[in-house]
Structure formats: C-alpha cells, structure tokens
Amino acid sequence: MDMITIPAVNMTPILPEIFLSVLAMALLLINVFIPSGQKSYLGYISFVGVVAAGVLVGAGWGAPVESFSGSVVQDNFATFFKIIFLLSAGLAILISDQYMEREGCNHGELYPLILFTVVGMMLMAAGTDLMTIFLGLEVMSVALYVLAGFNRANLKSNEAGLKYFLLGSFSTGFLLYGMALTYGATGTTRIAKIAAIVGQMTVPSANIMLVAGMLLMLTGFAFKVAAAPFHMWTPDVYEGAPTPMTAFMSAGPKAAGFAALLRIFLVALPTLQVEWSQLLWVLAVLTMTVGNITALRQDNIKRMLAYSSIAHAGYALVGFAAGNGTGAAGILFYMLSYTFMNIGAFAVIILIGKKGEANGTVMDFAGLGFKQPALAVAMSVFLFSLAGIPPTAGFIGKFYLFSSAVQKGYIWLAVIGVLNSAASVYYYLRVMVYMYMKEPTEDFEWTRITPPIALSLLISVAGTLIPGIVPSVILQFAEQAVKLI
C-alpha cells in the first residue's frame, strides 16, 4: 500500500493563531465550569493572551516563512497587519468590561469571541490562497455577527446583529462567486500561481471569466470594508452594536478587509491594474463623499463615527487606487493610526454614555472640557487626528495616501480627497465646540474611569500622537512590509 506523502508542515507561521484559538477554547470552558458573576478575570486573561500573541507575531518580523504548500505565509506584510488586529482586540478588551457590566450583558463568551475574530483576521492577512482567505474571513465574520448582536436584551443590538448577518452573508455570496470564477479562469486558488497564470495571458482583460471574478471579489470586499455604494449596513450596525464592539469592528475587520484586498489585487492581479485602478478611483470618490456628507448631519455620535468610518475607508481606497508602494504603505500606516484614534474616541463615548445606551449624542459632550479636562483633551486629540490636522497620525496618513495618488498622476483624486477632508473638519470640530463652548445641559453625573479604560486611553493617545510627531519609525516598518507584495 502506498502512503500519501504529507508535504512538510511548518507550524511557525500560524503559531500565534493556534495559541489564540487554544486560549479562546480554554476560556470558553473556564467560563462554563467556573461560573461566577464577575467575568472581568476572563478579560484580563485574554488581554495577556493578546499581548503574548503580539510577542509571537513580532518575533516573526523579517523572517519570511511559507507553509502548508504555500497557502499561509509569515511575511512582514502579514506581521504588520496582525499587529494592527491584536492592537484593536487588546484595546477592545480593555474598554469592554465597564460597558458590558453597565449594560448588564457581561457574558463570559465575549472574550473568546473577540479572540476568534482576531484569529480569523490574522488568517486573512497571512493567507496566500483564496481558500485560506475565505476561511479567515468567515471565522471573523461569524464571530462578529454574534458580537454585534451581543446585547441580547437590547432590540437595537438585535437589529444590528441581524442586519450585519444578512448583509454580511449576502456579500460573502458575491465574494465566493468571484473566487469560483477566478479559480475557473486560472485553474488554481493559490495567489502566487494565479499571478503567474494571469501574467502569461496575452490580454488578461479579454478573459471574461477572470474579469467577472475580479469584479465580484471587489464587490464582496467592498461590503466588508464598508465602501460606498455597499456601505448601507454600516451606520445601523455601528449604531446598534455594543459600543466597544463598534470600536473593534470599525478598526480590526476593516483593516483585515484591506489586507486581503491588497494581497489579492496587488499580488495576484497586478496585470489587471489598469482596469481595477479606474474602478477604485470611482469607489474611493463615492465612499469619501457619501461618508462625509452624511456624517455632517448626524447627532448620534456613534452614527456620526460610522459615517466617518465610511469616509476613512474612502481615504484608504485612494491609496489603493494609486496601487503603488507609497499607496500600500500609506494604507498600512493609516489603518494602524485609525485603530488608535477611532477606538480611543469610542472609549470616551463609553465613558460619556449611560445605561441603556443613553447619552449618545453630540450634545451630551457639552461642558466636558470644564468637568473633565483630561478626558476632553484626549477626545480632542482623537478628533484632530480623525480630521487630519497635524501633528497627529491621521494627518501623516492622509498626507501619504494623497501623495501616492499624486505620484500616480491622479491629481483630481487627491484634490477631491483633500476637499473631503476639509469638509469633515466641520463635524469633528462640532463635538469640540460642544465640549469647550457649551454649558452642560443637565447635571453631569460622572462615570468613574476604571483602570482598563484609562490604560486604553493612554495607549490610544500615545498611538495617535507619536506617529504624528515622529512618523518615520512606523513608516519605515510599513514600507518594509509592502516590499514583499
């Protein structure tokens, strides 16, 4: 009997994923076997686990390894994104406890679900096979559907979960169909092989199956990163989901979507760049404009930040449309800084909020500058960065993204981007006007700041300011990361 030879399996590239999966399963069991009202300790364990996974991931920097017959890699590109995912998860864990306790839904399952989401995202960034990327995407999405609807007793959270589920799995259908057609056109699901086969085609754009596959995949991912015109779910889901999960969703999964998009389009389909670059041009303009214009008239702060997150996806798409090294590095840098500034802003929203998601409007920030100066300063830093005002990371990121468009010759795209960015200043600064120039409408009953939230705010402020003042360090890493693709 002839044995099937098993190809050499090197577990190094997926060691952090294995570690986090095992930890998540252990936490699930701990949660059911040691029942107690206090679930915070699960949060602490998972935070330590995320930090440990970060060390494991960081150790792989600069040491590319390929495994599982080339369906998973450990390269700098994946490592950079994995760090972003772990940061977003770590910060989300820190800001969860206080909120979940207030809303009465501190179920222990929260932390394993966050960890599973991270595992999915990490596989998306590390996957070099359409199959791996799809599996990563689904591990992430299925866990996220639950997280969006995590507050079972709250109707808004139910709605958010259900909407996210219906539209998310709808978009998965398109993505999969795209993958199927790409497989049909090239006969393989390995990204590297697709690139080789498409590279040999004389006129790849004449291959209808390939072009249709590309378009469908683009549609599917556009849903996931909330790009217009596929952004309809975003505001509702972000508004209804528990606030810490909104923060998490807007940072990690968006970055994961971009990681997969970059890997598929820049590595597998660079020969079709002329075609997809024009499409992305239109998508970027639409996304920025729709996001910013709708955000202008939002009073609910979570909804406002949801539209703002659509706009930010648009800025990142500018770099993607440029499709050069600067653009890709810009996306990496921007996703990292966006994680800090956005989760930071949501942490402040959690502190302002009251039980039952009350106090969630821009007006509720009135007088914060006098009552809680430190918190107001932190919020101002985040808002400055979101608006793209120096010396913050948001400014450097936008500068990098728009200059990549100029390099590519898309002057108009850069101009539209800058105009959009200017328009966005209005709604970010509106919050600051309330914080510093209006009197509080009612008696300000202060929520205590617990140590975890304080830590998350500190990390976020540092992460927003330091890359803004000394951008070269992070930019160097980002540039090294995109060299491989």
Q: How far is CA 292 from the centre of its chain?
A: 18
Q: Does 184 contact other proteins by CB under 8 A?
A: yes
Angle 327-87-99 from CA coordinates, rounded to 5°: 125
Q: Does 3 bind other proteins (CB under 8 A)?
A: yes
Closer to other proteins by CB, 150 or 315: give it.
150
- Name, in order, each residue with C-beta under 8 angstroms of 23's C-beta and a sequence gap of 6 or more: 45, 46, 49, 115
How many whole angstroms separate alpha carbon 298 and alpha carbon 427?
9
> Taking CB under 8 A as the rule, does residue 29 contact other proteins?
yes
Q: Give the HSE-up count for residue 107: Cα atoms under 13 Å, Cβ half-sphere.
A: 16
Q: Residues 58, 173, 199, 390: which binds other proteins (CB under 8 A)? A: 173
Q: Is 477 in the site for other proteins (CB under 8 A)?
A: no
CA–CA distances in Å: residue 206 to residues 180, 192, 212, 394: 18, 21, 11, 40
Q: Which is nearer to other proteins, 153 or 206 (CB)?
A: 153
- The secondary structure element, H or E, covering residue 447 is none
Decide: is 277 part of the binding site for other proteins (CB under 8 A). no
Q: Based on CB atoms, which residue is closest to other proteins, 52 or 135?
A: 135
The Cα–Cα gap between 292 and 285 comes to: 11
**Closest approach of Cβ 382 to other proteins, in Å?**
24
State yes or no: residue 153 binds other proteins (CB under 8 A): yes
Can you tell me the distance from the alpha carbon of 247 to that of 346, in angstroms, rounded to the nearest whole number?
6
Our CB check for other proteins shows the closer of 100 and 401 to be 100
Alpha helices in 104-190 (DSSP H): 110-126, 130-148, 155-186
Quick check: 203 binds other proteins (CB under 8 A)? no
With CB under 8 A as the contact rule, the residue among 188, 273, 277, 361 that binds other proteins is 188
**Site track for other proteins across 286-305, x = CB under 8 A:** --------------------
Measured CA to CA, the distance from residue 373 to residue 31 in angstroms comes to 39
**Size of the residue set binding other proteins (CB under 8 A):** 50
d(CA 309, CA 246): 11
- Rank residues 6 and 203 by Cβ distance to other proteins and give the closer one: 6
- Pick the binder of other proteins from 15, 52, 59, 146 (CB under 8 A): 146
Largest CA distance in the chain: 83
* Least distance in angstroms from the C-beta of 50 to other proteins: 20
First and final C-alpha spacing in the chain: 43
- Interface residue with other proteins among 36, 48, 69, 152 (CB under 8 A) is 152
Q: Of the candidates 11, 51, 104, 187, which one interacts with other proteins according to CB under 8 A?
A: 187
Could you tell me if residue 418 is left (phi over 0), alpha (psi between -120 and 50 degrees) or otherwise beta?
alpha
Amino acid at 55: V
Residue 296 and residue 408: Cα distance in Å, rounded? 30
In angstroms, the CA 354 to CA 433 distance is 22
Applying CB under 8 A, does 172 fall inside the site for other proteins? Answer: yes
Position 17 contacts other proteins (CB under 8 A): no
The only residue of 162, 363, 406, 455 in contact with other proteins, by rule CB under 8 A: 162
**Region from 72-80, 140-148, 336-344, 420-428 binding other proteins, contact rule CB under 8 A:** 140-148
Chain contacts with other proteins (rule: CB under 8 A): 1-4, 6, 25, 28-29, 32-33, 130-131, 134-135, 138, 142, 145-146, 149, 152-153, 155-156, 158-163, 165-166, 169-170, 172-173, 176-177, 179-181, 183-184, 187-189, 232, 235-236, 239-240
